[in-house]
Structure 1
């Protein structure tokens, strides 16, 4: 009779998988434990014998505290595989049990066990029932459980399922190759700890928190998808205030960590998230916003798409206040950090974002993001790329170097503040604005970029102030088709073309800029209404040492000072320090850009440090120049000179070595001698 009831019940369950878990499992609670054997090496073990792994073989285990025939006390009295009293100091223990697969529903089900302390240890169980809410072990409305060192693998459902259960610990278990999830928490399962488990190659998710699960800790787990498991960890449906910490999450088919619909105030910290098929971390807000989550101190590398992505489709709820801080995000397939539409007020701070195959940071839409104190280096496209910003973003104090395109690119975005960044050696422009208005670019250090330091294209009413721009390839600041902008109090130097370039750009206010060392100070083409006030245009000074004479008593050096075009500079003011002493009074102007200095001889041995000769040179309309020589004259050379008649050293030739050392060959009394080494530092 029981067999026919079982068959009928099984058919009903197969047809009715959409029913809730309590209904499904209550059917199985009707069954009794009919087959229990005790085996070890084919010999019967007495109930007093030590319990070893695999020594207890049972069909299934059901504990239901609402049924007096199936509660912990009754089971402990009836079966040898359970011991203890259910208190903190004497918990019930189920240990060293193997659950056979002869029963399709649940290998282990603990139901309505609140306040009872128990341990399940060294148990092996699996089920052939293909349902994500069923698996190797199910805890329904349970607290104070401790699941340790069990093997819940190869289930047709999930490995471990907690439903409406709290204050349980899942530690050191193997959860591999289950057809759904490794571990699943659902329906208000709170304050649980999931620690140090090995979770590999499950078909759907490694760990899944679904529907109002809060205050859980997921820590020190190995979650290896082996390119088959869909995602490593997923939080969904208002699972909030959880901590995901120190996990290794690798090789999942899609995301390493995925959040969706109304998951807030979670912390993702110190995880290694590597080699996943899509993003390392993705927050998908299209079914509900995701607020105030923190992503901190993670290693996010080599994921096939982005490092971190937060966003939703258009016209979906807005996610706000998420924090991305102190992560190392490198070599991901798309952008390092990607904040898409309908995300506001995020903080991206203190991250190292390098060598990603798209942009370092990509901000699309949204408003009031802050990007601060990040190192954004050597990304394939832009360092920071902003499109369609809806309101103010603050981009400040970042190091944005050596990116493949622009350092910072602002595209059709208004009211941004770009301040105090160091932007260097990017392959295109340091900062570029396209069709972007009312932005402020201030206090940045922008150097060695391959086109311009700052480029405005079709952009109006922007302020460029207080920036230091040096050695940008073509232009310091360039405007094209851009009107009503303000360029004030910038230092712009050493561009190959112009310091400031205005092309078809009208009504620009250009004032109080120091512009020096550029081929052209200010270049204005096809523009009207621009105002230029109180700008200082400097050129660059160049120094050439054209003659040196050395005796035992004095050294004589002749300098030639010119501009970048070779024009000689007369009337320069030259301050000179020889071995730390001010000897400027010995400098003599000879005319035609030549200046002579006579110094008291200081001889040094070949092993002694050289003597420092410093020049500070100023000339009206030119950038101040500091010039330095290190001079060594060996006493042996002076001795040779005395033998030759105490004649001065006439320079015959010199050789510049790859290390920057100049070897001087001189004629002393008709004899050619190598006597001087000068190391030129500037």
Structure 2
């Protein structure tokens, strides 16, 4: 590169004048000499006031031959650094350019030149990729200043160029990219407007040492800035020392900035994207991601993102993620995202996550995200997570060596508010083949407020250091599910100290401990025990976090006299736990459930707790067996008091399960459950509901399954159950059997129900004995009984008659209530309809009537008629079917002649085919030879207001 000479004072004065005359809106308008130096270096003398040219269709400079322009007077200068060639003040309509470009310079590497103050348009044949308003190929040492390129295939195109400065240009409304830079080096792109183009605003393809500063790159059809490096050969490429700084990148159709590196077609390559800086940009309201970093290797390639900086960007309201980092490795490919800094960004209101790390490894591939720093960022109101790490493999037994890794990363000093799911979410998916590893990361000093679920959530993560985090109205979630293959030593390897706070109080996290007591839990914000036994947790107040108390893989513990209310998930959670007692706690007003058991198989006791006003369930069991649920108050919950899923051999006794919004007790895929001695009253739909549940017993719930709005007991696809000795009264339906067979329904008090027993579907083989009804008490089997209540009628028939009659009464009552409600609504609708029709009629003129007849239009809504046309028998005015019915029912007078639309007179109608014939003959529907027939208008018509 030529030595930089001293810049004369008049050049600086000229540049200062340009900054005043040609301002560009940027994130910072206080440009100093350093910020415009790349442009100033290439100008040694001020532009002369040369004449304007508007009779050119193209300009072509090839192999450094400028002679034609020099002789013609439309090129000035001598091509030196101090006196570059100048093409200026041109207006070029390139629609007939034989080159497809307005200005085309190729194979010119030794001369210095400037293209300035030119307007080029209509270079848009789109036959070749290099067609543009200005196209430079294998050309160096150029400056493009203050040009306007619009309505071209591309605005400006560079390929295999070096040392080009593009300053203060406008490239808008082009079919493809505004500015495309392909396989170039040392390119400066400053203060340009690259907006409203069909594809990307700026496309940097296989280019390095690029400076992109202070540009407006808005409202383009694809990405704002697109940086692609897809190779097909056995190559190694480095892309380094580029800067994207203080640009406005707003409202683009896809990503704000997209960096995509990878191979295709079985290439074996090595790509390095390193030492690049993307900072200080405003990247808002783009269709997909604010910043997207993608790495793909489909064969044996290696892709590296390393030592890059993404800092001080503002990323608001982007459609998907604020920053998205996506690694997909196949075959034996390897992808590394290491030693990068993502710091001090503001990421607000993203459609998904603030920052999303996604790794997916296939076959024998490896993805490895190591030693990155995510520090000092501010996240707010992102729809899903503030920071989300998602690791996965193809989980194929033929390829057990695939790996996805997120290790030794530092997530510190971030502020993360109001995330829609979790503030920080590290998720190493459970896989049977391959491995996902989220290990040895640090999460320190973050502030997390009001996350919808957890402030910090660790799924299958190990040896994580969590320290000094402050969580408000959320908390810490740790999960190692039943199917986890990790050993207890690995599961208990996380380091979580009491400097972590929930609502200002410490998190107590214990692993592998025995005999913990009250002194170990002083004023807690949250309690988490993993593999801890023989301990007592009592007399604590733990509220407004994610989960009050969590026990995982714990045995022989007691949780008592705890106020665990108003938490996001559960008040108290037992996961894979045995022989624990949870008693006399208040676990109310929680989002999901008061008390939750997951895969807790043996002899847990849930006793005398208050679990009311929870937004889903009072007590919930998933895959949990041999649990005793007794003497709890599970009322006023939004879904059900007690909820059991895929759980066997449980005992539900002596509970108050009243006034829940849907179910009192809900069992799905639950067998061998005993439900006895409970009070199950006034639930808003069903007292006890069994779905796909067999061999259960509902017994001796005396004076208790009453006043439920729909069913007292409802069995759906549930067989071989016993319902005996219960009081099931004053429900809409006492017992409802839907596709449920071989159940024994005996000795129940079924009085005062609207329907005693309702059998629907393929219910068969059920036994009814000793039940008490208001009418004659039938008994026997539902396939025929021996005892006869009336001559010629079996007891079953009597019972079915009672059931059918009761069902009819209920149906009539329900239909009547619904009809009355609808009738009151229809009255209001009818009043509005009459008012609209009267207004429209008053506005109708004679001219409107004539126009409607001439054009076969409806005189009411003054528009085309679809389907049958109704014609007034007196004057031939046209109505659509809906308007005809409305006018007839409301005022029964034709809008044209005023004659009654007498229903006793034949209503003439015209179908679509006849309408065409009438219009062609000019008879406007007034012929008697047409065959008219009545058509009933829909009843739900509302007159259309014009």
TM-score normalized by the length of structure 2: 0.44
Aligned residue in 1 for 2:50: 51
Distance between the aligned counterparts of 2:108 and 2:172, measured in 1? 27
The CA distance in 2 between the partners of 1:202 and 1:485, in whole Å, is 65
The 2-side partners of 1:444 and 1:468 are apart by: 14
Contact 1:260–1:290 under 8 Å retained in 2: no
| Gap runs ≥5 in structure 2 | 1-47, 231-237, 262-270, 298-302, 360-366, 392-405, 429-436, 482-490, 565-571, 582-946
Q: Distance in 1 between matches of 2:458 and 2:320?
A: 23
Name the structure 1 match of 2:194.
Answer: 199
Change (3 A) 1:409 1:327: same
State the match for 2:328 in structure 1: 313
Task: Compute the displacement of 1:279 (Å).
Answer: 0.7
Give unpaired runs (5+ residues) of structure 1: 1-48, 531-682
- Specify the alignment match of 2:61 in structure 1: 63
- The 3 A distance-change label for structure 1 pair 350 and 255 is same
Work out whether 1:124 is the aligned partner of 2:119: yes
Contact residue 432 and residue 455 of structure 1 kept, 8 A: no
Are 2:161 and 1:165 aligned? yes
The yes-or-no answer on 1:303 pairing with 2:298 is: no
Contact residue 249 and residue 256 of structure 2 kept, 8 A: yes
Give the Å deviation of 1:485.
Answer: 8.9
Count residues with an aligned counterpart: 452
2:342 corresponds in structure 1 to 324
**C-alpha distance in 2, partners of 1:114/1:269?**
32
Per-residue deviation at 1:235?
A: 4.1
* Shift of residue 210, structure 1, vs aligned partner: 1.1
Which of the numbers 383, 406, 413 marks the counterpart of 1:373?
413
1:514-552: CA deviation from partner (whole Å, max 9, x where unpaired):
x9x9779xx99976799xxxxxxxxxxxxxxxxxxxxxx
Asked whether the equivalents of residues 421 and 443 of structure 1 are also in contact (C-alpha less than 8 Å), the reply is no
Say whether residues 1:398 and 2:446 are aligned partners.
yes
Q: Is the partner of 1:161 in helix, strand or coil?
A: strand
Aligned positions of 1:222-237 closer than 5 A: 222-226=216-220, 228-237=221-230
CA contact (8 A) 1:383 1:406 kept: yes
Distance in 2, matches of 1:348 and 1:485, equals 37
C-alpha deviation, 1:430, in angstroms:
3.3
Structure with higher helix content: 2
Q: Which residue, 442, 452, 455 being the options, matches 1:407?
A: 455
Deviation of 1:401 (Å): 1.6
Whether 1:253 aligns to 2:253 is yes
* In 1, Cα distance between equivalents of 2:247 and 2:145: 18
Q: How much has 1:186 moved relative to structure 2?
A: 1.3
Partner of 1:79: 72
SS of residue paired to 1:78? helix
Higher relative contact order, structure no. (Cα contacts within 8 Å, ≥ 6 residues apart): 1
Matches of residues 204-223 of structure 1 in structure 2 within 5 Å? 204-211=199-206, 213-223=207-217
- Quote the residue 2:88 is aligned against: 95
Within 5 Å, which residues of 2 pair with 1:495-644? 495=542, 502=551, 505-506=554-555
Structure 1 counterpart SS, 2:70: helix
Relative to structure 1, the CA distance from residue 155 to residue 391 in structure 2 (aligned partners, 3 Å threshold; closer, same or farther) is same
The offset of 1:369, in angstroms, is 2.0
Q: 1:239 to 1:430 in 2, by over 3 A?
A: same
Give the C-alpha shift of residue 175 in structure 1.
0.7
**Is contact 1:418-1:440 (8 Å) kept?**
yes
Q: Could you tell me which residue of structure 1 aligns to residue 276 of structure 2?
A: 266
1:282 is displaced (CA, Å) by: 0.6
Q: What is the CA-CA distance between 1:477 and the residue it aligns to?
A: 0.6
2:308 is aligned to 293
- Alpha-carbon distance, 1:232 to partner: 3.3
Of 85, 99, 106 in structure 2, the residue corresponding to residue 111 of structure 1 is 106
Structure 2 counterpart SS, 1:222? coil
Change (3 A) 1:196 1:166: same
The answer to whether the 8 A contact 1:275-1:301 is kept is: yes
Q: Which whole-Å CA distance do the structure 2 matches of 1:344 and 1:501 have between them?
A: 30
- Change in Cα spacing, 1:411 to 1:57, as seen in structure 2 (3 Å) is same
Structure 1 residues 193 and 306, CA, compared in 2 at 3 Å: closer, same or farther? Answer: same
Tell me the residue number matched to 2:377. Answer: 351
Pick one of 129, 134, 137 that aligns with 1:137: 134
CA pair 519-224 structure 1, distance change in 2 beyond 3 A: closer
Deviation of 1:120 after TM superposition, in Å, equals 0.6
The 2-side partners of 1:193 and 1:468 are apart by 61
Instruction: Evaluate the alpha carbon distance shift between residue 454 and residue 312 of structure 1 in structure 2; reply closer, same or farther with a 3 A threshold.
Output: farther
CA RMSD of aligned residues (A): 3.9
Q: Is the 8 A contact 2:500 2:507 kept in 1?
A: no
Q: Shift in Å at residue 155 of structure 1?
A: 0.9
Give a deviation string over 1:175-209, Cα, whole Å, max 9, x none.
Answer: 1122221111112x111100111111212211111
Match of 1:31 in 2: none
Structure 1 CA distance, aligned partners of 2:102 and 2:342?
Answer: 42
Map 1:417-428 → 2, pairs under 5 A: 417-426=465-474
The Cα shift of 1:51 comes to 3.5
Distance verdict in 2 for CA 1:293–1:281, change over 3 Å: same
Cα distance in 1 for partners of 2:443, 2:335 equals: 21
Distance 1:467 1:84 in 2: 84
Q: How far apart, CA to CA, are the structure 1 residues paired with 2:389 and 2:449? A: 18
Checking the alignment, whether the CA contact within 8 Å between 2:277 and 2:310 is kept in structure 1 is yes
Cα offset for 1:359?
Answer: 0.4
**TM-score (normalizing by structure 1):** 0.60
Does the residue aligned with 1:77 lie in a helix, a strand or coil?
A: helix
1:356 aligns to what SS in structure 2?
coil
Q: 1:76 to 1:424 in 2, by over 3 A?
A: same
Q: Partner of 1:168: helix, strand, or coil? A: strand
